[in-house]
Amino acid sequence: MDQRTESQRVGDRLDAEHGTDDPFAAAIRGTRMSIVVTDARQQDEPIVFANDAFLKLTGYVRDEVLGRNCRFLQGPGTDPAQIAKIREALAAGRDVNVEMLNYHKDGTPFWNALYLSPVRDDSGEVVYHFGSQFDVTEKKRFEFELKEAHDGLERAVRERTHDLQSALDQKTVLLHEVDHRVKNNLQLISSLVQLQLRRSQEPAVREALSAVMERVGAVSTVHRRLFQSDDVARFDLADFIVDLTDDLGPIAAERNLRIDLSLEPVSVASGKAAPVALIVNELLQNALGRTFTDGGEGRIHVIVERRGDSYRIAVEDGGGEAERSRLEKAGGRYIVDLLARQLRATVDWHAGEGTRVEITLPVDGMVPA
């Protein structure tokens, strides 16, 4: 007996056992859900039952499907992994859910949400498989479109990020280049003034050029510090003063002057760094101008502290003989007053035994580091 006939026979028996008055059979035959039953005991599991919904879904007539294995629904676009998943579940006696590409009789594809479940007899042996098919082509199309849109967006974001990153990289290179040039030019200016200073024997000229050197030096120290921190927008005043006084240390030592620092960490907006640094430089240089003829030790005290909504920078020295105050001789006081106006700062000059100069800056533009 060939398989076709055997399947027909099994199908007929199922029909006979479940007549038209069997409500469950009627439901299976009439439901809009596509359903097939395959015979697990026959070679290659042929279909022994297919309802009308299955025929409508696949486009075949009943005679064309009975006795055949369900794989006739598969085609070139069917994913072998899904087929393997079915085979594995069947072999293990498990039910299985897959979504796979199947083909209508006319060759057009559709996405089939397939559910397969074993049917066992009283002894537990698998005798049939029950399969239901559901056309999910629309849902799949929607999923594909969504994924495409998503991938497109991701691609666009990736490209955009890449563009922004290259733009940022370029700007960073440019920033380093500009920083490099500013520093080299400051070096050049400083060397030029120093070379000029070496050529002059005239005390007044030497004095003036020295003052210019020191001022260029103060601005140079600002620039050296500016790009050393991660925050290019802020400038640490305490660090600057430490740098400047370290530089002046040997000169102070020569003149028997000790420099004491009482510095609260204060950061200044980068734009205000140079004027603040120039003021501090003038005050320090003035204090360094003190000479002690009696061999005693002098003391310079530099203070940076916050007082309410302002900051105070104070430089005091303990007196001693000044040849001529630098603040007068090199126009230091003029520079300090001008810069104070620019910074909206007030300057208090206290002349007693020593000199004490206090600069009070509004907190705007200066914040605790």
Residues 264 and 276 sit within 8 Å (Cβ to Cβ): no
Nearest to other proteins of 254, 309 (CB atom): 254
Segment near other proteins (CB under 8 A), from 9-17, 239-247, 309-317, 327-335?
239-247
In the complex with other proteins, the residue whose CB is nearer, 37 or 193, is 193
Residue with tokens 């809009």: 32
| Total site size for other proteins, rule CB under 8 A | 35
Query: Considering the complex, what minimum distance in angstroms separates the CB of residue 312 from other proteins?
Result: 25
* Closer residue to other proteins in complex, CB, 46/217: 217
The residue from 18, 29, 85, 183 that contacts other proteins (CB under 8 A) is 183
Between the CA of residue 309 and those of 84, 306, 367, what are the distances in Å? 77, 7, 10
Considering only residues 218-237, where is the footprint of other proteins by CB under 8 A? 220-221, 223-224, 227-228, 230
Choosing from 45, 207, 243, 337, the residue that interacts with other proteins (CB under 8 A) is: 243
> Is residue 169 a contact point for other proteins (CB under 8 A)?
yes
Measure the CA–CA gap between 253 and 245, rounded to whole angstroms: 11
Q: Which of 71, 128, 129, 69 is nearest to 100 (CA)?
A: 71
Asked whether position 175 contacts other proteins by CB under 8 A, the answer is yes
Which residues make Cβ contacts (< 8 Å) with residue 27, sequence separation at least 6?
none
- 3-state SS class at 205: helix
Asked if 248 is part of the footprint of other proteins (rule: CB under 8 A), the reply reads yes
Residue of 250, 295, 308, 352 interacting with other proteins (CB under 8 A) = 250
Quickly count: other Cβ atoms within 10 Å of residue 17's Cβ.
9
Residue 198 near other proteins by CB under 8 A: yes
Provide the 10 A C-beta neighbour count for residue 213: 17
Amino acid at 261: L
Tell me how far apart the alpha carbons of residues 148 and 144 are, in angstroms, rounded to a whole number.
6
Comparison of 6 and 243: residue with beta carbon closer to other proteins: 243
**Residue 277 CB burial class (10 angstroms; 0-12, 13-18, ≥19):** buried
Say if residues 227 and 260 touch (Cβ distance below 8 Å).
no
Residue with tokens 């600002």: 222
Task: Using CB under 8 A, pick the residue from 108, 161, 172, 342 that binds other proteins.
Answer: 172
207 scored as a contact of other proteins (CB under 8 A)? no
Structure tokens at 99: 């979504």
By CB under 8 A, is residue 68 in contact with other proteins? no
What is the distance between the alpha carbons of residues 189 and 218, in angstroms, rounded to a whole number?
13
Looking at the Cβ atoms of 186 and 266, the one nearer to other proteins is 186
192 binds other proteins (CB under 8 A): yes
Closer of 26 and 175 to other proteins (Cβ): 175
Task: List contacts with other proteins (CB under 8 A).
Answer: 168-169, 172, 175-176, 179-180, 183-184, 186-188, 190-192, 194-195, 198, 213, 217, 220-221, 223-224, 227-228, 230, 242-243, 246-251
